[in-house]
Amino acid sequence: MRTQVAIIGAGPAGLLLGALLHKAGIDNVIIERQSSAHVSSRIRAGILEQGTVDMLVGVGAGQRLLAEGTPHRSIELVFKNQRHAIDVHGLTGGKVVTAYGQTEVTHDLMAARQAAGLATVYEASGVSIHDFDSPQPSVRYVQHGQIRQLTCDFIAGCDGFHGVCRSSVPKAAATEFERVYPFGWLGVLADVPPVSPHAIVYGNHERGFSLCSMRSLARSRYYVQCPIEDKVAQWSDQAFWDELRRRLDPELADRIVTGPSIEKSIAPLRSFVTEPMRFGRLFLAGDAAHIVPPTGAKGLNLAASDVKYLSAALIEFYLDKSSAGIDGYSQRALRRVWKAERFAWSLTTLMHRFPGSGGFDQKIQEAELDYVVSSRAASTALAENYVGLPL
C-alpha cells in the first residue's frame, strides 16, 4: 500500500492531522495499534482552547462541540478557604476556553474520518518505521496475522508518550528534558451536575491540590492530588468526596453533588520534551514529542497546535513545492511547546503540596496566589496563558 503521509496513532493528534491533510487533498493513512472501541473509550482531557475549537470546526468535526461544549469565561482559585474568580474573558479581550471531553473530540474526529471514507488501520500490531532518513520511508505492521507494508513520503509520529516513533530515533539524534512530579492526580468522573458549571476551580490546600471540572451540565470531572504510590483500590468513592470537600472553601464544599464514580483513575504527572521534533522524513507531534502536567489543561491543546503547524508545512510542501515549512516545523512547534511547558510547570508548582515542604512553602504559595488575584498584571498573565498563547 502507498500514501503520501503515514500517520502513526489515532489519538487527537493523528486524527486531527489526518483531517487537516485530507481537507487539503493530501492522501494519508492512520495506523493505530488499539481497536477503534478502545481509542474512543479513553477518558482524558476536558478543556479546549479556542484555537483547538476553531480547528475542529474547520475540518467539519465541530458540530456537536458547538452544540454541547460549555464555554468558560472565568476560572476560580481556592486558597486559605476562600474562592477568587479570575475573569479570563475580560482579561484577554474576550477569549474563553470550552469544556468538552477529549473522548467526545475523538468520537467526532473518528466519525468525520469514517464519513470521508479515509483509511484507518486499527489493531495493527508490531508497528515499525523504516528509512525515515531517506526519501522513501515506510511503515510495517501486522494485521489479521498478515505482515503489511505502507510506503509513503512522510511519517507523522502521533503515537503518544509510549509510542514507537520517538523510540525509533537514534539516541544520539535527540535530547530529552524531563521533570517527574512526586505525586499523582486521582480523577473521578460522575454523572452529577458540576459544582461550578461555568468555571474550572483550582484548589491549593495544605492537604494538596484539587480541581473541579465538568464534561456537561450532567457529568462532572473532579481530581485530588494523591501520593504517587497510591492505588485506586485504596480510594472509595466516599473517601474521594470527603477529601475533595476538605480541600475546597466551605460554600463550594457544601454545594458538591456526589454520586457513584463511573470512572476512577490515578494519572502520574511529568513534564517532558524531546528535541528536535523532526528527523528526516519523520515528524513527531503531540504526546509523542512532549508531555505536560495536566494542571494547565495544555496536553490536548498542544497536540492540536503541533498538527496545525505540521499540516501547514506538509501542505506547503505538496502544493507550493516548498520545504521551508517542514524545515522550520520543529523550531516553530518547540517555541510554543516550551511556553506551555513553563505555564503548566509553574501552575503545578504553585498549586500542589510537595513532599517535604513545610509551613514556609505553604505561605509562599498562598502569598503568590494572593498576589495573582489582587494584581491585574499577574491575573492577566495567568489568563492569557490559560486561554492559549497565539498560534
CA distances from 356 to 65, 181, 247 (A): 43, 13, 19
Q: Say if residues 338 and 286 touch (Cβ distance below 8 Å).
A: no
213 near ligand PHB, judged by CB under 6 A: yes
- Residue 162 CB, nearest approach to ligand PHB (Å): 20
Catalytic residues: 72, 202, 294, 298, 386
Would you call 150 helix, strand, or coil by DSSP? strand
Which range binds ligand FAS by CB under 6 A, 42-50, 149-157, 232-240, 321-329? 42-50
Which grid coordinates are listed for 116? Answer: 470521508
47 near ligand PHB, judged by CB under 6 A: yes
Instruction: Show the site string, 323-362: x = touches ligand FAS by CB under 6 A, - = not.
Output: ----------------------------------------
Which residue has the closest beta carbon to ligand PHB? 46
In whole angstroms, what is the distance from residue 126 CA to residue 155 CA?
Answer: 16
Cα 173–176–179 angle (5° rounding)?
175
83 near ligand PHB, judged by CB under 6 A: no
The torsion angles phi and psi of 325, rounded to 5 degrees, stand at -65, -45
91 near ligand FAS, judged by CB under 6 A: no
Strands 290-291 and 261-275: what pairing?
Answer: antiparallel
Which range binds ligand FAS by CB under 6 A, 195-203, 294-302, 361-369, 378-386? 294-302
Which grid coordinates are listed for 18? Answer: 489526518
Residue 8 interface partner, choices ligand PHB, ligand FAS, none, CB cut-off 5-8 Å depending on type: ligand FAS
252 near ligand FAS, judged by CB under 6 A: no
In whole angstroms, what is the distance from residue 56 CA to residue 375 CA?
Answer: 35
Handedness of CA 378, 382, 388, 391 (dihedral sign): positive
The HSE-up count of residue 228 (CA atoms within 13 Å, CB side) is: 11
- Residue 31 CB, nearest approach to ligand FAS (Å): 6
Q: Which of 20, 26, 31, 383 binds ligand FAS (CB under 6 A)?
A: 31
The angle that helices 50-58 and 12-23 make with each other, rounded to 10 degrees, is: 50
Which range binds ligand FAS by CB under 6 A, 31-39, 148-156, 233-241, 345-353? 31-39
Residue 73: DSSP 8-state:
S
Measured from the CB atom, the residue of 9 and 194 that comes closer to ligand PHB is 194
What is the identity of the amino acid at 116?
A: A
Q: Say if residues 263 and 187 touch (Cβ distance below 8 Å).
A: yes
26 near ligand FAS, judged by CB under 6 A: no
Residue 18 interface partner, choices ligand PHB, ligand FAS, none, CB cut-off 5-8 Å depending on type: none
Q: Which of 295, 305, 348, 365 binds ligand PHB (CB under 6 A)?
A: 295
At which residue does the C-alpha cell 480523577 appear?
187
In whole angstroms, what is the distance from residue 5 CA to residue 103 CA?
Answer: 25
Classify burial at 79, counting beta carbons within 10 Å of its beta carbon; exposed 0-12, middle 13-18, buried 19 or more: buried
Q: Which of 12, 46, 163, 203 binds ligand PHB (CB under 6 A)?
A: 46
- Residue 108 CB, nearest approach to ligand FAS (Å): 14
Which grid coordinates are listed for 98? Answer: 470550552
Q: Which of 5, 7, 11, 383 binds ligand FAS (CB under 6 A)?
A: 11
- Residue 16 CB, nearest approach to ligand FAS (Å): 8
Measured from the CB atom, the residue of 273 and 373 that comes closer to ligand FAS is 273
Whether residue 197 has a cis bond before it, omega within 30° of 0 = no
Q: Which residues of the chain form contacts with ligand FAS (CB under 6 A)?
A: 8-14, 31-34, 39, 44-46, 102, 124, 127, 158-160, 163-164, 267, 286-287, 294, 297-300, 303
Q: Which residues of the chain form contacts with ligand PHB (CB under 6 A)?
A: 45-47, 200, 211, 213, 221, 294-297
